[in-house]
Every structure is written in structure tokens, then in C-alpha cells.
Amino acid sequence: MHDGDRLQNFENLVTAWATERGLFDPPNPMVQAKKTQEELDELFQGIRYKNKEEIVDAIGDIVVTLVIQARMHGYTLGECIWVAWDQIKDRKGRTENGLFIKEVT
């Protein structure tokens, strides 16, 4: 299976899961954003304590919440990823302390 097909299949599974649980009836993007923040906080904790299992779980959970968020706005995660890629692919800048700082034009 092609990676794009795998992503689409994953998004469809997450969307079906979220639909079955009423997350789109009605959609509440702010609540979903808070859920993403909770999962992001778990990622920070996993990184802080070097807990690889928690890191992997948190990253997966963040992606799930983002799939749901994207669908709440009528997009797919894949569409959002490509928009972001198109915006950053040609950026120039520098890295300081592990953080990329884009060049201001």
C-alpha cells in the first residue's frame, strides 16, 4: 500500500471512530484543540522524563486529535500537511539551540 493510501486509510479510521463517539455532532473545535493541548503536555512529560513509551503514545494521540480537528474544519490532515510543506519547503534561515529561525524577508 502506498504511503498516501495508508494516511488516507488512517484518517478514515479515525474519522469513523470520532463519528461513532459523536465528536462531529456538533463539532467543537475548541474542545478538540484543548484535547490536542493535553496530549502535547503528555509529550512534554515524556520528553522531560525520557519515557519513550509515553513519547510514542503522545505523538500518536496528537496526530489523532489533529485528524479530528482537520475534519471539523472540512479538511484532511494530508491537505493541511501539504499546505504547511508548501509554505516551509523553500525557507531560508538558521538553527539556534535546535530551533530553526526563519529568515525575515
Kindly list the domain boundaries of the chain, sorted by start residue. 3-102
Residues 3-102, CATH architecture: Orthogonal Bundle (1.10)
Mean per-residue pLDDT of the chain: 96
Quick: pLDDT tens for 42-56: 999 999 999 999 999
The phi-psi region of residue 26 (left if phi > 0; otherwise alpha if psi is between -120 and 50; otherwise beta) is: beta
Task: Check pLDDT > 80 for residue 4.
Answer: no
Quick: pLDDT tens for 28-78: 999 999 999 999 999 999 999 999 999 999 999 999 999 999 999 999 999
Task: Check pLDDT > 90 for residue 24.
Answer: yes
Angle, to 10 degrees, between the axis of helix 29-48 and the axis of helix 52-72? 160
